[in-house]
Each structure stands twice: as structure tokens, then as C-alpha cells.
Amino acid sequence: MAKRPRGAVLSVPAELIERKIYLVRGYKIMLDTDLAVLYEVPTYRLNEAVKRHSKRFPEDFMFQLTREESRNLTSQNAMSSFGHGGRRTLPYAFTEHGVAMLSSVLRSERAVQVNIAIVRAFVKLREWIVTHKELALKMDELERTQKEQAAHIGNIYEVLEQLTSPAEVPPARRIGFVTEDA
């Protein structure tokens, strides 16, 4: 493979990275297999480098998926099945901080450039979530206002119904004595 000139900008489509970010255990993560593809290294080499520097990867930076989590991601994303010709170990998940730490472990120009692209994708995702939260709050306020107005309109409609409907006239009472025969 031809070597890129030093300082050359790496073209990694942001959409590709964004599709590889998953939500697991409340963390936005990327899997070791996806990262290895982006870094152009075998997955086992990426994991070897991480294990050599394990002190740099606490539980909130990287963790291994459970079988259930792996199965869920496999079914959702058409990943290689665990133990069926695919990988023999459970995948590792890297949080945004873990991905940032990878650049210090993988010491290549590509690793630096890919990390920059990934961190930008995480930032973009965070901004997108904030924007959507604001939009959701505005929609909730609009819905609440609409329900209040619908209740007021309902009350007005009832009053109009009462005003426009003819008054019920009670049946005329018979005058005189009431006998049992009548």
C-alpha cells in the first residue's frame, strides 16, 4: 500500500462512522471490528495493542460485550455471528473516550486521522441529540397548548349548543282532581 504524505488529510466519510456508533449500556460506542476496519489493521492486532496498554482503558473507556449484547447487535446490524465461522471472542466496545485513547496506542498517521474523524462524528451526534431534545420539548409544549385550546373550544361548543337548542317544554299538567280511573 502506498504511503500517504505526512499531513495529508484522510478521507473517511462521516456517514460511515456515524452508522458504526451504537448505544450499549447507556454509552455511545464503536466496536473493535469496526475500528479495525477504519484503522486498516486486523481486529486481533487492535485488541493486542489495547491489552498491552490496558491501564489506559478503564471500564468507562472500553468494555467487553456480553453474549446477549453481542447477539442483539448481531441481529440488528448483520454482523458476523459469534462462534459460527465468525469471531471466537466477544467484541470489545469503545466509548468516545476509549476511541480518543486509541490514537495514543496505535501510533500511525492513519490512526491519528481516523481518530479525528471519529471524534468529530461523536461531537456531531451529540449536537444532533441536543437539537432533537429541544425540538421534542417544543413539540410537547405545542401539544399541551393544543389540548388546552381544544378543551376551551369544547366548552364554547357546549354553551352554543345550549343557547341554540329549543328549550324543552315540560308536559302540561292536567287541571282538576286526579282519580284512579283517569
pLDDT of residue 78: 47
**Which string of DSSP letters, residue by residue, matches 5-31?**
PTTPPP---HHHHHTT-EEETTEEEEE
3-class DSSP state for residue 94? strand
pLDDT of residue 86: 60
pLDDT of residue 76: 66
First-last CA distance in the chain = 114
Q: Which CATH architecture has domain 14-126?
A: Roll (3.10)
Per-residue pLDDT for 25 more than 50?
Answer: yes
Better pLDDT: 79 or 150 = 150
- Tell me how far CA of residue 114 lies from CA of 86, 98, 137, in angstroms: 25, 13, 35
Per-residue pLDDT for 93 more than 90?
Answer: yes
Distance CA(128)–CA(122), nearest Å, equals 10
